[in-house]
Structure 1
Amino acid sequence: MMQLWRSAYVIARRDFTAVVLSRTFILFLLGPLLPILIGMAFGGLGDRISNTDLRPTVGVAMSPADQAALERAHDLLAHRMGDQSLPRLRPAPMSPAPQVQLTRSDSDMVAILTGTLAHPVLTGKVEDLDKLQGDIGLLSTAALAERSLKFVTVQRHEVADSRGAQAQARLLIGRIAQVVMFFLTILLAGMILSNLVEEKTNKIIEILAAAVPVDAIFLGKLMAMLAMSFVGIAFWGGTAFAIFAVLHGGGGGSLPAPAIGWPMFLILSVLYFAMAYTLLGSLFLGIGAQAATVREVQTLNMPITMAQMLIFFFASYAVDHMGAPAEVAACIFPFSSPFAMIARAAQDATLWPHLVALLWQASFVALIIRVGVLLFRRHVMQSGGRWWKRLFRPATG
């Protein structure tokens, strides 16, 4: 067993240095940051566009009392509904022919409101009236209600803690952890599919198989890709933290603590990401090892991605069904177990299920690697006979 791990370490070190010390790895690190920078740029542009007031302007040619009541109703409703949800109101001179004001070259009003609050009259083009009629009716109703109804003030009674709010916050933490783990897994694990194709094409795999056990090759490649993933996550996480610190000046609000506590939650997040990555990675390594060309790998990529999405949806559904059969099944099923268990860590402080889950997931990683090795021997290297008879035998060269 020690010989297997030493050989796996040699393979892992070889693959890790070959990837991390290459120039393309810098592009790999910068790749996920480019969409973020582009999103920030377009977000700033979107803010400028949204800050531009595109609301239609309605001229109010009513008595001063009605106009003041309409303005108060507008301010009250805009405070609750949003300023952009209602048209702008602007005082207009009272005239027996309001349509004349709409035809003036310096006018920016699309309609004129005349009459009274009880019987408002809106003058404008048909398409503008269709858009504004409901808003003006709402404003007039609210202005009339102010005269006959008393606005009720809600008395506040503040508390330091709320179990319902705490449960919702922990549920949100679990969902965010799931999304982040899934995003990182689907971003990083897919590269393992083509890991062995080039070495099979160049016959390098035959040299490696003659020097070390095939189990060590698979295990070493998986360890190398996992270590490379942690390098990428450390870089992206450090960059995100630096940007957050600059934007918020290090004064961000306190985050609600998960049920198991932040230190243990972060440790479990790293462990469950490693398990999710190695579970999918070992499966991808076994499947990709059967492919003969890059084209076959690309063909396999779509159904594998769809399967990952189904697994994530299954685990995501189980988040707010703690203790239900679906949640228990998601915790037991190996490929959804890391996602379901990290959500459980956010909502339940019990520690022993995580130890059991980690051992359960690690055993499946070993099983999948072993099956992949035997299938690789049988179908690629044309040796080994019936693979299921050698499933639990010690690894050999």
Structure 2
Amino acid sequence: MSSHNRTGRLSTLTAAFVVARRDFTAILFSRSFIFFLLGPLFPFVVGALAGGVGEQVKDSIQRPMLGVAMAPADAEAMVAAQQALAERIGPSIPGLVVVRKLQPGESFDPVGAMKSNEANLAAVVTGTPQAPVLTGPIERIEDWQGRVALIAAQAAGNGPKALPAVALSSIATSKADQTRSRLLTAQVGQTVLFLLTMLLAGMVLSNLVEEKGNKIIEVLAAAIPMDAVFLGKLFAMLAVSWVGITVWATVGGAAWFTAGHSLSDYADPAVGWPAFLLLGVVYFSLGYLLLGSVFLAIGSLATTVREVQTLSMPVTMLQLLNFFFAGFAMAKAGTWIETAAMVIPFSSPFMMLAKAAQHEGLVVHGLTIAWQVLCVAVFVRLGAAMFRKRVMKSGPAVQRKRKWFGRAAA
């Protein structure tokens, strides 16, 4: 006979499933769920205001550069000419970076250079200062044609009165334009993830406070492990949230596509749209569980709605800081700031979703997802232990005290 049958108590996972099914059914078929579905109408205003936050991030992104691939002497002359003109004209002259100093007869692929990760190249100038060839996106090279002619004339020693003709060779895109477009995709993903998490995670607070008031939580705690109660409530609220998101996405997506928009309006994420959307689902779920576990711990300590509001406000403000920190870390790729944003549990979902939009590779996502799952388990355990100790007045310390007094009485 198994220990499960002898004790009469469900296992933690089975009990968590029972609690999750009970809460999910009760909420889904309640009249208040209709008003819950109307909730996102108000945060749209917040989303519009948050759009300005991205402008500061754009200013921190590496400035698009003009690559030079010429003979050694010509490349050095072009760089010297650009520096001389920049001192007199200012930032309207694009920054130059020598991509390669070509030897006689050496071939060079400017398109391949722009698609590489070596520099944030917007265009590449080849040929000679007397006959330069500018390769890049058509709108970029048309804008830079006159300035490149001025630099080439300075490099050739002709001065501004004898500008050479700059031949244009257009391509579809460049790394600089791709970087800028993927940044927009990353920012939109981060903002949507933050708004959904903050909008929906608060449900676990009201649910737990309500059940504490009518003593249901005490009945559950007496029948099944407290860890199972917390875990079941978290996943029930997550399931309810996904029902709401599905409804909102269906209605909003239909309106968006009907208006003539499509995913092609945004640059393809580095990992591709299918993987990006799947990672969005995973990171929302983990971000919700992380924040929800903290809210559960807060709700377990609060006895009134006023206490809930007082205790949850610092957590909300800290989560807002985590969101801004993850946005700032996007502009600090390869630094300790980016690493910190990936490791800190509450900023990690925002940072990793942005990383999926900007950088290829899925291995790092597997590692961070495993780390976030571990953090969820730890926070749930801590919240349940805190509830047992401070609310239920049970736990190892209390049990030892009762046992000691029992011996003394005997």
- Give me the whole-angstrom Cα distance separating, in 2, the residues matched to 1:193 and 1:347: 35
Q: Is the 8 A contact 1:16 1:225 kept in 2?
A: yes
Hey, what does 1:186 align to over in structure 2? Answer: 198
SS at 2:332 equivalent: coil
SS at 1:341 equivalent: helix
* Residue 164 to residue 386, structure 1, CA distance change in 2 (3 Å): farther
Hey, what does 1:79 align to over in structure 2? Answer: none
1:234-253 per-residue CA deviation (whole Å, 9 max, x = no partner) reads 111111111112222x6774
1:14-57 per-residue CA deviation (whole Å, 9 max, x = no partner) reads 101111111110111023236769x99xxxxxxxxxxxxxxxxx
Q: Is the 8 A contact 1:171 1:320 kept in 2?
A: no
- Give me the whole-angstrom Cα distance separating, in 2, the residues matched to 1:334 and 1:35: 24
Structure 1 gaps of 5+ residues are 41-153, 390-397
- Give me the whole-angstrom Cα distance separating, in 1, the residues matched to 2:32 and 2:262: 36
| Amino acid in the other structure paired with 1:383 | S
Q: Which runs of 4+ in 1 moved over 6 A?
A: none
Indicate whether 1:169 and 2:178 are aligned.
no
- Give me the whole-angstrom Cα distance separating, in 1, the residues matched to 2:44 and 2:283: 25
Quote how far apart the aligned CAs of 1:347 are.
Answer: 1.3
- Give me the whole-angstrom Cα distance separating, in 1, the residues matched to 2:382 and 2:370: 18
| Amino acid in the other structure paired with 2:195 | F
Task: Give the number of the structure whose alpha-carbon radius of gyration is greater.
Answer: 1
Hey, what does 2:376 align to over in structure 1? Answer: 365
Indicate whether 1:21 and 2:29 are aligned.
yes
* Residue 210 to residue 169, structure 1, CA distance change in 2 (3 Å): same
| Amino acid in the other structure paired with 1:329 | A
- Give me the whole-angstrom Cα distance separating, in 1, the residues matched to 2:378 and 2:178: 39
Hey, what does 2:273 align to over in structure 1? Answer: 262
- Give me the whole-angstrom Cα distance separating, in 1, the residues matched to 2:258 and 2:169: 36
- Give me the whole-angstrom Cα distance separating, in 2, the residues matched to 1:190 and 1:31: 12
| Amino acid in the other structure paired with 1:158 | S
Q: Is the 8 A contact 2:197 2:284 kept in 1?
A: yes
- Give me the whole-angstrom Cα distance separating, in 2, the residues matched to 1:371 and 1:386: 15
- Give me the whole-angstrom Cα distance separating, in 2, the residues matched to 1:372 and 1:386: 16
Q: Is the 8 A contact 1:276 1:338 kept in 2?
A: yes
- Give me the whole-angstrom Cα distance separating, in 2, the residues matched to 1:367 and 1:252: 38
Question: Which residue of the other structure, out of 290, 302, 311, is the alignment partner of 1:279?
Answer: 290
Question: Which residue of the other structure, out of 2, 12, 31, is the alignment partner of 2:20?
Answer: 12
| Amino acid in the other structure paired with 2:384 | V
Q: Is the 8 A contact 1:318 1:340 kept in 2?
A: yes
When the two chains are superposed, the root-mean-square deviation of aligned CA atoms in Å is 2.5
- Give me the whole-angstrom Cα distance separating, in 2, the residues matched to 1:253 and 1:343: 18
Number of paired residues? 274
Structure 2 gaps of 5+ residues are 5-9, 49-165, 401-410
TM-score, length of structure 1 as denominator length:
0.65
Hey, what does 1:245 align to over in structure 2? Answer: 257
TM-score, length of structure 2 as denominator length:
0.63
> What is the percentage of aligned positions where both structures have the same residue?
52
Hey, what does 1:30 align to over in structure 2? Answer: 38
